[in-house]
Amino acid sequence: MSKIQAPVIKNEYYDVTFEDLTHEGAGVAKIEGFPVFVENALPDERGKIKIIKVKKGFAFGRLIELYEESKNRTEAPCPIYSQCGGCQLQHLSYEGQLLFKKKQVEQVLTRIGKLDLHKVKVHPTIGMNEPWNYRNKAQVPIGEREGGLVAGFYQKRSHDIIDMERCLIQQAENDDVVQAVKKICEKYGIRAYNEEKHKGCLRHIMVRYGLVTKEMMVVFVTKTADFQQKNEIINEITAKFPQVKSIVQNINNKRTNVIFGNDTNVLWGEEYIYDKIGDVKFAISARSFYQVNPEQTKVLYDKALEYAGLTGTESVIDAYCGIGTISLFLAQKAKKVFGVEIVPEAIEDAKRNAELNGFTNAEFAVGEAEVVIPAWYNKGNKADVIVVDPPRKGCDEALLKTILDMKPKRVVYVSCNPGTLARDLHFLEQGGYETVEVQPVDMFPHTTHCEAVAWLELV
């Protein structure tokens, strides 16, 4: 069989029109039907590209010159946008980003979910009024340069750390604390961890901020437990930032890209800081999973609660419950909530959070949702409503099968990956459910990440 030749050649230049955006935010042009992906290009734009890599069914190009700009193009306000990989869509107007996310959901629901968009209402993406400074957690790698430390971000496709004073999607309070802590550590001669030599001390600084309570936590991730002059460093941080309520050390002695190690000790203050979403208060520890955009989290959880349609008589399962955030939102309106999560520490936090808010109708179990929930059902238990909020890979099939067996009248699916959402909705539709509505919520403005919540009814 003759091999099909790609109609493009590496290092050659082509004039193209961009038709679409990939889910990663690259512009898509077609040359004789052959897709070429180009960073920083937008649909409806025309320009000159250079082909930089040719693969079997597609190629990558670099934008050389724009002949015609999209009406949705805007100047990226961040001065380091082109170096940092954190945001991918700052060159697209915010309105354009919200449309892109809705379209992304619609495309996968049709292509993967086989859903008929005449029957399923996909709402416009709910965005933020002020889509900047929303992140409540800064997690910055630490490096060294002549005469000092650098705290910033890994340059795109490399492990070189670029110093950064301001991140436009970060809460300014977090940037202030990171910069000050870097300087304090510098003053006391703390050495940064060197990845290649596996030597040095400080690997990462993490700062968390409770948007409602204004409480802050500082976490030092170090190579070993030995952290010289920590008392002096703590004194300086607490004198400068009275809102810091907790200083924690995490030890990671491994040669790895994974940020945290297994050992975490409180160096000063509390083990937790607190924050509130709506009326519910949460204790957040250094390792807890807590949504990074608290303002939009409230929007997302309110929508999940609305889709759950609770009247106070229902028994509800919250699968993949983390520290019980959605569970406790549901507990406000349900008779009983049963939360399941794989991380034991998160379940301890969930139980503590239930107690903190005086909820006696929420119960939590540690384990894989696909094991715990079938076992619970086999013992004769049933839920009227099931809420799932799985990681990017979506729900395990064993859990989906149990949902089909258990037949709750409603399923609410909170998703951070439209592709797996569409796959799982298809499975549930095949088994007797009907998707009624899908609501994309912009949890991560200026990035390509897309969150959505779907409401399904048993037919």
Of 168, 202, 321, 403, the one binding ligand SAM (CB under 6 A) is 321
- 416 labelled catalytic: yes
Of 14, 154, 320, 433, the one binding ligand SAM (CB under 6 A) is 320
Query: Judged by CB under 6 A, does residue 322 bind ligand SAM?
Result: yes
Query: Judged by CB under 6 A, does residue 341 bind ligand SAM?
Result: yes
Q: What angle do CA 253, 350, 383 make, to 5 degrees?
A: 130
Query: Judged by CB under 6 A, does residue 291 bind ligand SAM?
Result: yes
What Å distances lie between residue 215 and 133, 174, 207, 247, 288, CA to CA?
16, 11, 11, 12, 15
Q: Which residues pair with 161 in a beta bridge?
A: 154
Q: Which 3 state secondary structure label does DSSP give 422?
A: helix
Tokens of 250: 């995490």
Tokens of 202: 């400080």
Query: Judged by CB under 6 A, does residue 289 bind ligand SAM?
Result: yes
User: Quick check: 24 and 88 in contact, CB under 8 A?
Assistant: yes
Q: Which residues inside 403-422 make contact with ligand SAM, applying CB under 6 A?
A: 416
What helix, strand, coil percent values describe the chain, rounded to 5?
Answer: 25, 35, 40
Provide the mask over 193-232, with x wherever binding to ligand SAM is found by CB under 6 A and - wherever it is not.
----------------------------------------
Torsion of CA 394, 397, 402, 407, to 10 degrees: 70
Between 88 and 327, name the residue whose CB sits nearer to ligand SAM: 327
Between 84 and 369, name the residue whose CB sits nearer to ligand SAM: 369
Query: Judged by CB under 6 A, does residue 29 bind ligand SAM?
Result: no
Choose the stretch contacting ligand SAM; rule: CB under 6 A; options: 83-91, 279-287, 330-338, 365-373. 365-373
Could you tell me how many residues of this chain bind ligand SAM (CB under 6 A)? 19
- Residue 341 assigned ligand-binding role: yes
Smallest distance, ligand SAM to C-beta of residue 5, A: 43
CA distance 334 to 337: 7
- Residue 68 assigned ligand-binding role: no
Smallest distance, ligand SAM to C-beta of residue 368, A: 4
Q: Give the DSSP letter string of 63-119.
A: EEEEEE--TTB-----TTTTTBSS-S-TTB-HHHHHHHHHHHHHHHHHHTT---TTT
CA distance 169 to 85: 13
Query: Judged by CB under 6 A, does residue 36 bind ligand SAM?
Result: no
The annotated binding site for S-adenosyl-L-methionine is made up of 291, 320, 341, 389
Q: Which residues bind ligand SAM (CB under 6 A)?
A: 289, 291, 320-322, 325-326, 340-343, 346, 368-370, 389-391, 416
The annotated binding site is made up of 291, 320, 341, 389
